[in-house]
Amino acid sequence: MAKLTKRTADLATAGAKVTAIWDEELRGFGLRVYPNGRKVYVVKCRIKGQQRFITLGQHGPVTADQARTRAYNILSEAKNGRDPAKKLDQARKAPTMKGLGERFLKEHVAVRCKASTQYEYKRSVELFINPKLGTRKVTDIERRDIAELHHSFSHIPYQANRTLGVLSKMFNLAEVWGLRPDGSNPCLHVKKYPEQKRERFLSPEEFAALGKALREVEADGSETQSAVDAIRLLMLTGCRLGEIMTLKWDYVDLKGRELHLPDSKTGAKIVHFGKTAADVLKGIEKLEYNSYVITGKKQGGRLTDLQHPWRRIRAKAGLDNVRIHDLRHSYASGALALGEGLPMIGKLLGHTQVQTTARYAHLANDPVKTAAGRVSDAIGAAMLGRRKKPRRTGTPKKGKLATAPRRKATRETVAVAAE
């Protein structure tokens, strides 16, 4: 045994078999010399009762002093009960980001996500993640790499945030699968770009214009009846696009005025609807050998494209900036205008999170502003010495105060102007 130095390593000669030179000062630190002349620094330690040899690096690119420092750290970790070989094994066996993406799509997305979500995740992995990080090892990715990728898509902030979310899920699973240490997700603390939720609500006049456009295209046959029926149902039920497009007759209970959806964005749910929506459903022809309500051109199939008909119909109505999803927002705003509270609207729309419905809270302030205006006007009149008489809303019963009759809100009144 001798102290391993550069000189010792340089003078070591190869034999017919692999030989080892062990350091006399740091027990377990040595140099392996192979018959082909290759020389590699190693460290020998016992981990959980099992003897392990860990390669530190090849002599030349790695100096004797560098190898000694690494060996000392590994031996210290082993004495403290930690497994110093685990990180090295992970780094050696770690897949590339492309490999992680393939496993993520196969073992997680394909099993746990809906078809629309699968499409979006696959798109993010193949178009935005792989071109930037695909060839890199999973263990080599650091926070700065994620920050740089996120910044490279600053011109499309919504997609940048969606990609960041997909990456975060991938790295969480990498920890579960033992590909990275726990708590090492590099997406942590990478701040998303601000997103402004678009809120567009149709007025009664706009509902009337859309209803007129629907009647015109229905009369002249310029659009399919399925497209017209789909848009009317979207207006009158507040359903999501996918819920109406995949609606089957088995889900429809006309007598109870309910749609029993076995699956939606928030899981199985029941959608209640009013007479106007029921009349639309009754007017739709049931086709033999087709279970869908909104049918397509192929036998037994459903309508798959509503965007193109919608663009033509909204242009005819003069509503070029209105999206299909805005019909759902308008349904919620209509319910607020009729006096329904946010909890009830959340149930009507099938929201599982209060925060989702809370985006409509500012609309509920309109009645408060009106009341505040009446109070301030009354006080202002009193200050000027004028007495403002309250408006009579009904004939009071004897001995009782008169109260304004409350209008009962119904689901179909939200878009009644459309008809």
- Specify the CATH number for the domain of residue 353: 1.10.443.10
Q: Give the residue-averaged pLDDT of 120-135.
A: 95
Give φ, ψ of 376 to 5 degrees: -65, -35
What are the two backbone dihedrals, phi and then psi, of residue 403, each rounded to the nearest 5 degrees? -125, 145
Same domain membership, residue 311 and residue 261: yes
Same domain flag for 109 and 238:
no
Mean pLDDT check: name the lowest of 171-175, 254-258, 350-354, 378-382: 350-354
CA distance 265 to 230: 19
Shared domain for 254 and 318, answered yes or no, is: yes
| Residue 228, domain extent | 204-358
Domain containing 110 — which CATH number?
A: 1.10.150
Question: At 158, which amino acid appears?
Answer: Y
> What pLDDT is stored for residue 359 in this prediction?
65
110 and 62 within one domain: no
- Count of structural domains, the chain: 3
Average pLDDT of the chain?
Answer: 83
Residue 411 has pLDDT above 70, yes or no: no
263 plus 339 within the same structural domain? yes
Report pTM: 0.58
Asked if the structure places residue 368 within a domain, the reply is: no
| Higher pLDDT among residues 364 and 25, named by residue | 25
Of 192-201, 308-317, 359-368, the least confident: 359-368
- Kind plus residue range of the DSSP H or E element containing 19: strand 19-22
Across the range 247-256, mean pLDDT stands at 92
Q: Give a yes or no: residue 184 inside a domain.
A: no
Kindly state whether residues 37 and 69 are assigned to the same domain.
yes
Let me know if residue 45 belongs to a domain. yes
- The pLDDT of residue 111 is 92
Report the distance separating Cα 229 and Cα 216, nearest Å: 13
* Amino acid 405: pLDDT: 43
Domain boundary among 123, 156, 176: 176
Rounded-to-integer distance, Cα 172 and Cα 104, Å: 10
Among residues 77, 92, 107, the one where a domain terminates is 92
| Residues 347 and 300 occupy one common structural domain | yes
The enclosing domain of 36 has a CATH number of 3.30.160.390
Alpha-carbon distances of 285 from 226, 303, 345, 370, 402, rounded to whole Å: 10, 14, 31, 46, 49
In a domain, 196, yes or no: no
| Residue 56 banded pLDDT, cuts 50, 70, 90 | confident
Q: Are residues 82 and 220 in the same domain?
A: no
Phi, psi for residue 35 in degrees, rounded to 5:
-55, -30
Residues 286 and 324 grouped into a single domain:
yes
Domain contains 367? no
Give Cα 227 to chain centroid, integer Å. 28
Residue 418 lies in a domain: no
Q: How confident is the model at residue 416 (pLDDT cuts 50, 70, 90)?
A: very low
194 domain residue, yes or no: no
* Confidence band, pLDDT 50/70/90 cuts, at residue 262: confident
Q: Answer yes or no: do 282 and 158 share one domain.
A: no
| Residue 231 sits in the same domain as residue 153 | no
The tokens of 250 are what?
Answer: 């088995």
Residue ending a domain, choose from 358, 376, 409? 358
Are both 107 and 80 inside the same structural domain?
no
Report if residue 292 sits inside a domain. yes
Task: Using the predicted structure, report yes or no on whether residue 307 has a pLDDT greater than 70.
Answer: yes
What is the tens place of the pLDDT at every residue in 147-197? 999 999 999 999 999 999 999 999 999 999 988 888 999 999 999 999 877
Whether residue 205 is predicted with pLDDT greater than 60 in this model: the reply is: yes
